[in-house]
Amino acid sequence: MAVKDVPDARIEKATDVLVRVTSTNICGSDLHMYEGRTDVEEGKVLGHENLGEVIEVGPAVDRVKVGDQVCLPFNIACGFCKNCERGFTGFCLTVNPGFAGGAYGYASMGPYSGGQAELLRVPYGDFNCLRLPPDAIEKQNDYVMLADIWPTGYHATELAQVEPGDSVVVWGAGPVGLMAAYSAQLRGASKVMLVDHQPDRLALGESIGAIPVDQSAVDAVEAVLGLTGGEGADKGCECVGWQAHDPAGQERPNTTMNSLVQSVRATGAIGVVGVFVPQDPGGPDELSKDGRIAFDMGLFFQKGLRMGSGQANVKRYNRQLRDLIAAGKAKPSFLVSHELTLDQAAEAYERFDRREDGWTKVVLHP
């Protein structure tokens, strides 16, 4: 990771918008690339959690104006394909031919540069820009969470069909897991349990009302069963992904999925937003190299569980979640631990990647 001068992003198509980035987050998803676990090309400008000011619009842009403060969903979507039309903007069929889904600055997600930069080109600007209210600058640490992790955490609860009164277990207390726990509370969960082995992240979860389960100290499945009268949680969220590991750091790609099958009650539902990949040459075992895990299918079937998975369709939720911030009813910036400049990005990657104590979420202000 290095900060370099590169050619400025510019308007390339009539439907583009050019944004001067003022906030751009480092994401746990960026770490998959940082750790060399994807085929991302050298020199790619990363950054898919972006917010800033519109400084130029292409001639075919009608709605978005120069001067607007906007937050950009990490998904780049056209708005007119079969998937976009049905709201599945995480699986756009036209922006990244041969693949369902495009994003800024990400491996396999198309030729788009990211926003960990001064300028960002936003394709289909009218469709992709979420315009922000007058308190946009003052609350930018809140609004920038609408680019990815809050809608993604919310998506986990949507896939798991969390309803008022449900007990919910969330595996992973990174930013995504914390946002899933936060969203579950907003949806009226009666009890939210959060599993991880990082004490600082668990403490943050506790501060928003989740029950921390430290899997370095206890058997997490037993703990969840104990907290739910032996039945298991009504709903479960996977917010770790295939690089799941034990507290000692040994990667075990199937642990979170099987733990969810064991700790969600019969007839419950599981939402999987932690990333799993179809190939991982650096995987810890033969199965995972081909994107497979040994999954407890028998128990999953016996319990009649349901499961949904995939990239979050950010546009499906970002407008409503924005309005909760604007109304003062949500404050997702509780996650932010570090606000740094672009020049400090390389060091920030290194320290966030080590999950150093207190490094929960980094916002860069170019």
Ligand X SMILES: NC(=O)c1ccc[n+]([C@@H]2O[C@H](COP(=O)([O-])OP(=O)(O)OC[C@H]3O[C@@H](n4cnc5c(N)ncnc54)[C@H](O)[C@@H]3O)[C@@H](O)[C@H]2O)c1
Which residues would be at the binding site for Zn ion (CB under 5 A)?
A: 27, 29, 49, 77-78, 81, 84, 92, 148
Q: Does 264 interact with ligand X (rule: CB under 6 A)?
A: no
Return the axis-axis angle of helices 220-227 and 255-263, rounded to nearest 10°: 20
Q: Which does 313 bind (CB under 5 to 8 A by kind): ligand X, Zn ion, none?
A: none
Q: Choose between 87 and 247: whose C-beta lies nearer to Zn ion.
A: 87
Contact range with ligand X by CB under 6 A, out of 79-87, 91-99, 146-154, 330-338: 146-154
Pick the closest to residue 167 from 211, 223, 233 (CA basis): 233
Name the minimum Å distance from CB 89 to Zn ion.
7
**Residue 256 touches which of Zn ion, ligand X, none (Cβ within 5-8 Å per kind):** ligand X
Distance separating alpha carbons of residues 170 and 364, to the nearest angstrom: 27
- Cβ contact 15:77 at 8 Å: no
Region from 6-14, 237-245, 282-290, 321-329 binding ligand X, contact rule CB under 6 A: 237-245
Q: How far is the CB of 174 from ligand X (least distance, A)?
A: 2
Site mask for ligand X (CB under 6 A), range 267-306, x = bound: ------xxx-------------------------------
Rounded to the nearest 10 degrees, the angle between the axes of helix 149-159 and helix 318-326 is 120
- Provide, rounded to whole angstroms, the least separation between the CB of residue 305 and Zn ion: 27
Shortest CB 231 distance to ligand X, Å: 21
363 binds, among Zn ion, ligand X, none (CB under 5 to 8 A by kind): none
Pick from 70, 233, 239, 307: which binds ligand X (CB under 6 A)?
239
Which among 57, 59, 49 has a CA at the least distance from the CA of 23?
49
Query: What token pair was written down for 177?
Result: 């897991």
Distances 332 to 110, 216, 298 between C-alpha atoms, Å: 29, 27, 38
Part of the chain binding ligand X (CB under 6 A), chosen from 23-31, 52-60, 262-270, 335-343: 23-31
Decide if residue 28 touches ligand X (CB under 6 A).
yes
Measured from each CB, the residue nearest to Zn ion is: 27
Q: How far is the CB of 366 from Zn ion (least distance, A)?
A: 17
Binding mask 43-82 for ligand X (x = CB under 6 A): ----------------------------------------
Q: Are strands 191-196 and 211-214 parallel, antiparallel or unpaired?
A: parallel
Tokens of 346: 């390389």
- Kindly give the pairing relationship between strand 362-364 and strand 233-238: unpaired
Long-range contact list for 196-199, CB < 8 A, 24+ apart?
A: 196/171, 196/172, 197/247, 198/173, 198/355, 199/357
Residue 175 found at the interface with ligand X (CB under 6 A) = yes
Give all strands (DSSP E) within 153-239, no chain letters. Answer: 167-171, 191-196, 211-214, 233-238
Q: Considering CB distances under 5 to 8 angstroms, the limit depending on partner class, which of ligand X, Zn ion, none binds residue 84?
A: Zn ion
- Number of helices (H), then strands (E), belonging to the chain: the values are 13, 15
Which of ligand X, Zn ion, none interacts with 92 (beta carbon under 5 to 8 A by kind)?
A: Zn ion
Tell me how far, at minimum, the Cβ of 116 lies from ligand X, in Å: 15
Binder of residue 189, out of Zn ion, ligand X, none (CB less than 5 to 8 A by kind): none
CA distances from 86 to 169, 259, 313, 315, 335 (A): 29, 32, 11, 11, 31
Q: How far is the CB of 71 from ligand X (least distance, A)?
A: 15
Region from 132-140, 175-183, 227-235, 322-330 binding ligand X, contact rule CB under 6 A? 175-183
CA dist., res. 277 & res. 264, Å (int): 24
Per the CB < 8 A criterion, the answer to whether 247 and 197 are in contact is: yes
Contact residues toward ligand X (CB under 6 A) are 27-29, 31-32, 148-149, 152, 171-177, 195-198, 201, 215, 239-241, 244-245, 255-256, 273-275, 311-312, 355
